[in-house]
Structure 1
């Protein structure tokens, strides 16, 4: 009996060992097969971006980001190399404004992120989507203070002030959720930059590589019925309504709405081009001017669409003179913005495009009268502008008339300041700049490069900058050539920071730091294979046409004397 028990125990042990061995062999084989079909998280990243509609990446490869580049060639993503990470951000900004969708930026940890923060700040201020994906030191190294390459105490904290959110990916499974969170903001909320950082150890982790399915489309919120009814009741009984349209409403059917209400429409600089040139209800002067302020103050109902009602759009001279005396209806996708700057009587937390469509469907078409047209025309008198401002407006008008489908992208420079005052853009997204809101320098050229990559190959984008602003981003001249960007840069050279110089003179401040050494920018552009034109005021239009026929970037150089001769 004991011998039988020993034999049974022996055989049972053998069977158990065999089962364990088979299990381990199968597990090893399955794991080995899985590893053979796996890739690094960095290599999988481009496919995840394509699935969410990204088609272009701006970035400068570095030792901390090269793993992100492993999967780029087969993904179909286009890659553009700027000469500075700030340029990458500005390019993504310009691309988003013209294409209507975000671009991605691949940025190294540390100095790459500090370089792009300014561009993120501009995009944050103007509600522009931008997906910034960076690396960060590996776990156990990040924030250690040991002095690892590109180490910062807290990179995410630095960036969070200019982003809708900044997320650190601690495990590969977190990446897709973070991307989905970003696109929920881009498509359904107030669009702003998003920053996702991936530690180097996580970027290298092996992950399964199943086919990536296309991410579902998301849709912004439509207006609630009660809010829409309240807006309808106020507008349908209004006697002298006025519409204020900001960048959040530039895709809305603003012309149809203005004609339905028989209401003058005032557009911020980011909304210019939303109305046809010469439309009798279109007010192209900014709200700071006396006649425009009078128009708004006399309205019994003001409908504000997708605008912050911020001081750089409505109180440029900072004297508190912009007033709304009638009933204010505010439509904004950001609920917090509905109570900022000016309190509204009716708040509609919704997408401006959907709200405008709903109002047009509900409102009876008002009979057109001369009163609204006269009120709009009274705001467009430019005779009171100084001679330099009128010269600048003539320059902008010539550009629009010669190249009506070409967006104008402006730096913080004198011609653009004049354009903000009273320029009438010729196409949708046809005029935007860094001169209001955050107010950066060095924006015009790289943002125009990004914009040019979002339009048809035979179209052009106009960049307007000064010699001071261009020196912030001279390296991007080479980027434009490399990208074969159809950019026509109108360069106003006054040998310094002219606008600030005037500001200091008006306040009797000693002129220090504004008269700067300016290199020969024409020769530098030519060295970067740009076509160069140096017109007089009388040959400016013909030079524009020649530049438009050139395949590649062109520079039109305007001295201060030429500018004042227009």
Structure 2
């Protein structure tokens, strides 16, 4: 039976397990949106295409599958550009579909065309693959090539364009094939490499697991936990790998910010790195904390992209393939010979627990406005055990990764690109991916929150179990700190502040959400609990001390070492 091109697009995506689409309906795509809803898809229309892209990226992180976002021709695609760039830097496999006018328009010499720009040349640098469907019978091959590029090697975004005269044409095609029919799926490592890695792990006295962003976006927590149990070693988080794997919470330490992590790295004689590019936040695996004992340390890297091996540092045993396939190989190889726990492991666990307890005890209290460290402590103490944590903001995030008392199993933030304003769209996308059941907490600064504040309406419309805790200092707090360090106290901080009359709790109420205003630490937790209990999206406006927010960011000297080429 002949089907329309737009129906075939849905079939091809469904074969990949995709059932969610974000975007503002383009005239080219209204038939696709309508049919997707009929087929039981989640169809979410936010208020800005960039938000749609961020929401789709969150879905890919929470499912381990590609995600889909649509942009209308011209201005819609212009609005998608920041989301494309984020997906590229964050290694997120998002398929961006773009509408376009009929090709005859592109070939005109005439000037003054409405809502038109040649889109692909502008977008190609921000994606792994860009293509246009010029003929209906190209639909399968180009969409599959896009999915192949998005998921092969280092994951990333692709852009596929549909001129308006193509998407309503008819096709006579067979049922959509599964992904394994047209791209590499579940690539394992060679038996010789697995055997060598297992031999080295057994022989190591103080091995560590370095766990990155890719472990969580591939949803590989369970096999990684089994591997960590067999290795009986500490788990070191990269800045992108800050989700905690169930069962490993007590022996998972953040690289650079936990003395236990630093000591474990310095003493280690083997590092097994999983789901990480070994980038600047871990000093490429060869600088700063890695320098000590470097000559005695063996490196094993699980990496999907063979071209990444040896780029940032030499690797002794590269295991090239899908970590979802390779980690079970290592588990099987080590299964009959688990290691004896590293002798210092219990001490590191106690040391890190004591560190968190001391931070909770010593975070400045009794201030009004609230000290941002105390905000983090009080908010994360009441973080729901099964919740999803979303972070956004500059200074607020720096306080967050130091003072958090929660160990969430899912954490989302824009850690590689550092794009502010992603928090609220990430929260929406993550909740849609999880069936809108698990509670979410967004901890953000006021600057970041206002980027896409209109998506409060989207969250309210979808009735998401989301509470947004907003640290409000009426300023670009991190940038104020940069001015002070650059020009000294009392310097003019150009362009960093705005009206102190802004009440984000009242803005939230205008969107139909639950609003709370807080200016004392003891009121933070009760306000958050009331927000969850309200049954509506909640916004808790917490007035924080602007001086502390700009001058007392914890571990800031460590954070600055991420910029390896001295950009700060």
How high is the TM-score relative to the length of structure 2? 0.83
Instruction: Tell me, in whole angstroms, the C-alpha distance in 2 between the residues paired with 1:338 and 1:112.
Output: 38
> Deviation of residue 539 (structure 1)?
3.3
Is residue 274 of structure 2 the alignment partner of residue 314 of structure 1? no
CA distance in structure 2 between the aligned counterparts of 1:42 and 1:248, rounded to whole angstroms = 32
The residue matched to 1:98 in structure 2 has which SS?
A: helix
Residue in 2 aligned with 1:558? 542
Pair 493,442 (structure 1): closer, same or farther in 2 beyond 3 Å: same
Q: Do the aligned partners of 1:493 and 1:560 also contact (CA within 8 Å) in 2?
A: yes
Q: Are 1:110 and 2:38 counterparts?
A: no
SS in 2 for 1:339: coil
Deviations 1:417-445, CA, capped at 9 Å, x for gaps: 233346475343x21212x2101111011
Instruction: Show the counterpart of 1:23.
Output: none
Is the 2:377–2:404 Cα contact (8 Å) retained in structure 1? no
Partner of residue 195 from structure 1, selected from 152, 159, 180: 159
Shift of 1:55: 0.9
2:214 to 240, 243, 248: 248
Distance 1:457 1:200, change over 3 A: closer
- Where 1:270 maps in the other structure, the secondary structure is coil
Residue by residue, what CA displacement relative to the aligned partner does 1:49-80 show, whole Å, maximum 9, x if unpaired? Answer: 33432211111123344354353343322211
* Structure 1 counterpart SS, 2:273: strand
Determine the C-alpha separation between the residues in 1 that align with 2:373 and 2:535: 31
Aligned partners of 1:221, 1:455: CA distance in 2, in Å? Answer: 27
CA shift in 2, pair 1:547/1:321, >3 Å: same
Contact 2:389 2:411 (8 Å CA) reproduced: yes
* CA distance 1:459–1:563, shift in 2 (3 Å): farther
Residues 33 and 43 in structure 2, CA contact (< 8 A), matched pair in contact too:
no
2:326 alignment partner, one of 355, 374, 378: 355
Q: Say which SS state the counterpart of residue 556 (structure 1) adopts.
A: strand
For 1:150-165, what aligned pairs fall within 5 Å after superposition? 150-153=115-118, 155-165=119-129
In structure 2, distance between residues paired with 1:512 and 1:320: 35
- Ranges in structure 1 where 5+ consecutive residues have no aligned partner: 1-36
Matches within 5 A, 1:41-440: 41-42=5-6, 44-142=8-106, 144=108, 146-153=111-118, 155-187=119-151, 189-208=153-172, 212-213=175-176, 215-217=178-180, 219-250=185-216, 251-252=220-221, 253-276=223-246, 279-283=249-253, 285-287=254-256, 292-311=261-280, 313-315=281-283, 320-323=287-290, 325=294, 326-363=297-334, 364-375=337-348, 377-378=350-351, 381=355, 390-395=373-378, 397-400=380-383, 403-421=384-402, 423=404, 426-428=407-409, 430-434=410-414, 436-440=415-419
Distance in 1, matches of 2:458 and 2:341, equals 51
Give the distance between the partners of 2:483 and 2:350, measured in 1 at CA.
34
User: Superposition RMSD on alpha carbons, in Å?
Assistant: 3.0
Higher mean displacement: 69-78 or 465-474: 69-78
After TM superposition, give the deviation of residue 540 of structure 1 in Å: 2.6
Matches within 5 A, 1:432-451: 432-434=412-414, 436-451=415-430
Q: CA deviation at 1:546?
A: 2.7
- The whole-number CA distance in structure 2 between the counterparts of 1:515 and 1:415 is 16
Structure of greater Rg:
1
CA contact (8 A) 1:405 1:426 kept: no
Q: Confirm or deny: 8 A CA contact 1:288 1:322 kept in the other structure.
A: no
Q: 1:469 to 1:189 in 2, by over 3 A?
A: same
CA contact under 8 A between 2:232 and 2:341: conserved in structure 1? yes
Q: Look up the SS of the partner of 2:73 in the other structure.
A: coil
Structure 2 CA distance for aligned equivalents of residues 144 and 221 of structure 1 = 47
> 3-state SS of the aligned residue for 1:141?
helix
Residue in 1 that maps onto 2:452: 473
Alpha-carbon distance in structure 1 between the residues aligned to 2:320 and 2:314: 14
Kindly provide the CA deviation profile for residues 94-117 of structure 1, in whole angstroms up to 9, marking residues without a partner as x: 222223333311211222112112
Equivalent-residue separation in structure 1 for 2:446 and 2:191 (angstroms): 52
C-alpha displacement of 1:268:
2.0
Residue 216 of structure 1 and its aligned partner are, at CA, apart by 4.4
Contact 1:269 1:431 in 2 (8 A): no
1:25 corresponds to = none
Q: Report the CA distance shift for 1:346/1:44 in structure 2 as closer, same or farther (over 3 A).
A: closer
SS of 2:171's equivalent in the other structure is strand
Distance 2:499 2:100 in 1: 38
Q: Distance in 2 between matches of 1:527 and 1:309?
A: 44
Give the 3 Å change call, closer, same or farther, for CA 334–423 of structure 1 in structure 2: farther
Q: Matched residues in 2 for 1:53 and 1:421: separation?
A: 37
Normalising to structure 1: TM-score of the pair?
Answer: 0.83
Find the aligned partners of 2:102 and 2:72 in 1 and give their Cα distance. 13
Give the unaligned 5+ runs of structure 2.
365-370, 550-568
Greater mean deviation of Cα atoms: 268-277 or 77-86: 268-277
TM superposition shift of 1:449? 0.7
Question: Could you say what secondary structure the match of 2:443 adopts?
Answer: strand
Partner in structure 1 of residue 499 of structure 2 = 517
CA distance in 2, matches of 1:161, 1:226: 38
CA distance, structure 1, for counterparts of residue 57 and residue 419 of structure 2? 13
Q: 1:373 & 1:148 partners in 2: Cα distance?
A: 69
**Within-5 A mapping of 1:450-529:** 450-508=429-487, 510-517=492-499, 519-529=502-512
Contact 1:50-1:77 within 8 A present in 2 as well: no
| 1:254–1:274 CA contact under 8 A, matched in 2 | no
Equivalent-residue separation in structure 1 for 2:523 and 2:229 (angstroms): 39
Report how far residue 42 of structure 1 moved.
Answer: 3.3
Residue 165 of structure 2 aligns to a residue whose secondary structure is helix
Distance 1:225 1:167, change over 3 A: same
Q: Does the Cα contact within 8 Å between 1:107 and 1:132 map onto a contact in 2?
A: yes
Give the Cα separation in 1 of the matches to 2:444 and 2:107. Answer: 39
Whether the 8 Å contact between 2:66 and 2:147 is mirrored in structure 1 is: no
